[in-house]
Structures are given as C-alpha cells and as structure tokens.
Chains A and B, each alone.
Chain A
Amino acid sequence: MSAVSVRDVTVAFEAFRVFDGLSLDINEGEFIVLLGPSGCGKSTLLNAVAGLLDVSSGQIWIGGKNVTWEEPKDRGIAMVFQSYALYPRMSVRENMSFGLRMAKTPKPEIEKRVNQAAETLQITHLLDRRPDQLSGGQRQRVAIGRALVRDASVFLFDEPLSNLDAKLRNELRVEIKRLHARLGKTTMVYVTHDQIEAMTLADRIVVLKEQKVQQIGSPDEIYRCPSNLFVAGFVGSPQMNFIKGRLKGGDNGLEFVSGKRRLPLVGYQFSQKQRADGEVVLGIRPEHLTVADVGTWSDFKIDVVEPMGADTIVWCSDAEGSLQVRTNGCKGSAPGQHLALGIDTTQVSLFAANTGERL
C-alpha cells in the first residue's frame, strides 16, 4: 500500500493546465524528492497533495484513503515552508501548539508533544522566544517542530532550506535526514530545485520539467542513467559533458564519432537496438574522464584548472571543443599542458539528438 498516491491528476488555473493526468505513487516511509527548476510545477504538485490547491480531475490518496475532497488538516499531513511561515507575535511554544489547540487536544497531550518535538530538534531553550528573536536556522527548526507535533504520517517540505545560507543548509539537511530515520515509518515529500539536496536526502527522486515527470528513480539511477538530456544536465555538478556526434557501425558493434573523436561503445547497454548513422549526444560525467598520458582521446590542452580541495576540475579542449574533467590529484594541473583523456565506456550516456531521450 502506498502512503501517497496521485492518480491521474490534472491541475488547471482557468485555461492554463499545470498538470495533465499526472500519476505518482509514494511508498510508506519513503523519502521522495520532487526536483526541478523553478516553474516546473513541483510546488503545485505538493500543494495539490496537501489539499491547498484543488485538482481539476483525478484523485489523491493518502494512507489508503481518498482525500481528494478533504481539507488539508484532515489528510494526516504536516508541512514545512520555504519562508518558515511562523505565526508572528506568538512564542515558539504557541506556534507549535496552535494547531493542536484549535483541534481541542487535551492540554497535557499538547505539552507532551511540544516538549518532545522541541527536544528532538534541540530547540527547548527557544520555546518562550518569539520568531523575530530567532535566526533563520532556528526559525526553520521551529517550523519543522510545528510540523512534528501534528503527528502526521506524511511530511511535506516546500523548499525548506532555500532561504538559508550554505552552512546552515548543510546542517539542517542532515538534521532532516536524521529525523526521517528516527521517525521510521513517516513518509516525506520534499520539493527542491537543489540537486545536492535531492541526491543526499532522497530514497527516490522525481525530476520534473515543464509540468512533466522526466524520470523517477533512486538518486543513483538518476545520476548514472539519466533518462534524457534534461535530467542528465540538471543533476550533477559540475555538469555532464555533452558531445554531439553520430553513431557509426564499427568492427565491434556501434561506435560514437564526433570529428576526430571516436568512442567504441563496447559495454554500453542500449535500451533498444540501434541502427547506425543516428545523430546522438554523448554524455560523460567529468569524473568518468581520466587524465592519462595516453588515452582514448588525445591532444587536449588544459585551459583552466579549478582546485576544489578534494578534487580538481580541469577544463581542457581540443579542436572539437572543451570538456570538464574531475581528477583527484594534481596531475596535469598547469594550463597549457597537453594531455590525453581516458573514458570508461560503461559509465557514459547516449541520447538521441532529436528527442533527447536516452538510447
């Protein structure tokens, strides 16, 4: 049984259809991330699940119940927002307990839940402060705490870390992951445009673009086998290298050819049988290129070197164009130096040039 099930949902604002017949099943206890650039409709989807937005057709099921017509408060969900959305001029304690008080929960029970949540999030000492006396990170902790006391089976996060600086973002990211682990069977749906958050947090990632699901899969799948050019380009930093070329029949099967660059595609798993002579795009992640004295491709010259501590990004180019290479050492790290590149054929991706779909 899935915890959240979106069945053939259409969301439309007057004439404009945001989604047309979208379906998605989320398993119980799963951490799912909706990833996509802004305007892709990921927040709209989240709001539809929360019931903050009416669907035009289709159904939404949560916990085995059809909640399409239910009020948000009756869906067994809790939600955390980008702008924290803390109630102003109410103390942290009041913020966390407001919903429970409205639901006429007994006082001792409220007390218990608030204290528990506060402890979990280590904000007990802030309980009597007001939001405007808190830092951004503290505010977001409070917002999470407010969601926590609702005892919901599904947590919805709407870009919760986007307003925070990098350091806090990392810290809270871990916090959320830990929280998910501690809560055990709680399902989390998390919206973000940050692929690192998506990769680190998700059990499964749903990549969205222009209101369409591009790919659903584990972070690993998404990273290694992106289903199209968009996903390939959106996930991963630095970006995947894309090389335009065509497929040619060779001695050992198909071969990728782009100018004088050639790559025999031995070991590449095509999703279907390919004919030769198709226009394609070859995608290679920077870490799947290795710097060698003698490699698959040679005659590269280093343009720029970006040392990043743990590894180094080397920009190098030949007559065909420039590529990024991630190396772990300081080998070949002077601009102007010549080098050759080795390629692990099993790790590359091939996309049809016309549709952008993975081959």
Chain B
Amino acid sequence: MNTIEPQGCRPRRLTVGRVGVYAFLLTAALFILLPLWIMIMTSLKPMDEIRLGNIVALPTALTFEAWSKAWSSACTGLECNGISVGFWNSVRILIPSVALSIIVGAINGYALSFWRVKGANVMFGVLLLGAFIPYQVFLYPLVRIFSMTGIYNSLLCIILVHVIFGLPTMTLLFRNYYLGLPIELFKAARIDGGGFWSIFFRVILPMSTPMLVVATILQVTGIWNDFIFGLTFAGRQNLPMTVQLNNIVHSTQGERAYNVDMAATMLAALVPLVVYFVSGRWFVRGIAAGAVKG
C-alpha cells in the first residue's frame, strides 16, 4: 500500500530491470573491450614482462616506447620509420578511392532506381553475386589486365581496384536508398525538363546525405584496412600503412616484439575509429534509411 497519496512523478525506484539493462551492457562492453585491454596492456609492457605471460595484468614497468617505436622507428626491412611512412600513402589512396567509389555507387544506384535501362538489373544481380567471391580469386587475372593497360603498380591502379571492389556494396546501398525516395520528386524534375545528370546533381545527390555518411564509413573502414590489394596493385611508392603494419607484425623467422605489434595495430586503426566517433549518430540514421528495402 502507498501510504502517501500518489502524485507527481512515479517514484523512480532502481528496478531490477534497470539494473539488468546496465549489467548486460557493461558485461557486453567488457567482453568487447577485452581484446583491446589485452592489446593496450601488452603495448605498455617491455618484452621481458610479456614473456612472463600474464596477459591481462597491468604493466609493472610502464613504457610508451613501443608506441613511439611503432609510429616512427620500427624497422620494416631496411627502412626504420615505423608505420608513419605508410600513413600518407594510405591517405592518398583512401581519399580518391572513397570519393570515387561513392560517386560511382551513387550514380549506379540512381540509374538503377529511377531509370529503366535494359539489362541493368541483370548486371546488378551479377554484381551482387560478385560481393560473395573471395578477392584472392581476382588477383592474378587483374594483374594481367592492369599490366596490359600499363597502369599496373600505380596510384591510379590501386584506386581503380578499390572502386571496382566497392561497386557491389555501394551500388546496393544507394539503389536501396533511392528506392525509398518518393518517385514524384523525380517525375517533377523530369517535367521541369531535368536531364539525367542535372536531376542527379541538383535533386538526388543533395538528398543523399545519410547514405553518403554510411557509405563513407564502410568504405573508409574497408579501404583503410585493406592489405592484399595495396600490396598487389599499389606499387612500391604507394604501399599503404597496412603493408608496414604487416611487415612489423608478420615475420616468418624473425623475432617478434608484441608490444610494438599491438601499438602499431591500434595506431593503424585510429583513422576509422575517429570516423566512427565523429559520425556515430549519422551512421545509425543513414543505415536506417538505406536498409529499408534490404
């Protein structure tokens, strides 16, 4: 029985359910943060301590040496400049690849959802199936194709490769998003005399912000973390950061510095992480817009 007459706000007792919600979220967060914890701890320890093997313990001798080494002085072959060398290469690959693959995806999505082009749907179907094929299968023939055209091992080449393999997802996302836009809009623009390109740039593209954000996030993550394409197609001058990361981390017969490995991995992940932090809310909104027609 309530002794006081109920009035105003319902008394906010800390209900079991509320505690449960936070308990679950915190447990899940712990589970998901665990590897990160192990990596951070390892990156702050000297190798002697790592060999002793308590992976979750706090470092007894805290050192940031591994981080600075990973960034600027770890050796990958003759050059001992850490992964910082590849950073700008990665940026140079990233920006045009992301921009180009998004714009091509948007144009494709637009053409597929608003215009009827013969055979376009069949093309789209093949493209979708292509998304399920392991990339490795394409490597050899692509090398041949690109060396025939003479652009093999260049910045242009690696950008084209990223655009090609971004096609399925990008086209799918934009097509679905545009199918959700009212067709009246398009019809009105046609009646006003808009052509294919003017409608796209004046009407459709300005309405695509949520999807552009999602596409950017997906492509930035994918392209930034790519290793195999960068290695195969970029050429020595343009090797992305992941190749250096791999050089530091992977070595068949050399000794391993786990602290540097871990620090390098986290450093290499910074760019996508920043993108997530900055665009988190947009991400959810954009996916909502794009996934409707799944």
Contact = CB atoms under 8 A, between A and B. Distances in A.
A55 B8 contact: yes
Contacts of B10: 54, 68-69
B8 A66 contact: no
Contact of A57 (B2, B5, B8): B8
For chain A, the bracket of interface size reads 10 to 19
Nearest to B12: A54
Contact of A58 (B2, B8, B11): B8
- Is the interface on chain B under 10, 10 to 19, 20 to 34, or 35 or more residues? under 10
A70 to B, nearest CB: 8
What 8 A-B pairs have minimum CB-CB distances, sorted nearest first?
Answer: A69-B6, A57-B8, A68-B6, A59-B7, A69-B10, A54-B9, A66-B6, A54-B10
A68 B7 CA distance: 6
Given A10-B8, A58-B8, 12 more contacts: A54-B9, A54-B10, A55-B8, A57-B7, A57-B9, A58-B7, A59-B5, A59-B7, A66-B6, A68-B6, A69-B10, A69-B11
Interface in B1-46: 2, 5-11
B252 to A, nearest CB: 55
A56 interface: yes
Contacts of B11: 69
Interface string A52-93: 001111110000001111100000000000000000000000
Interface of B: 2, 5-11
Nearest to B10: A69
Nearest to B2: A69
Contacts of A57: 7-9
9 contacts: A54-B9, A59-B5, A59-B6, A66-B6, A66-B7, A67-B6, A68-B7, A69-B2, A69-B11
A111 B99 CA distance: 60
Contacts of A10: 8
A88 B181 CA distance: 23
B185 to A, nearest CB: 22
B9 A55 contact: yes
Nearest to A57: B8
A282 to B, nearest CB: 44
Contacts of B2: 69
Nearest to B8: A57
Nearest to B11: A69
A355 B31 CA distance: 63
Contacts of B7: 57-59, 66, 68
A70 B10 CA distance: 8
Contacts of B6: 59, 66-70
B15 to A, nearest CB: 13
A274 B8 CA distance: 42
A56 B2 CA distance: 18
Nearest to A55: B8
Interface in A30-71: 54-59, 66-70
A57 B9 CA distance: 6
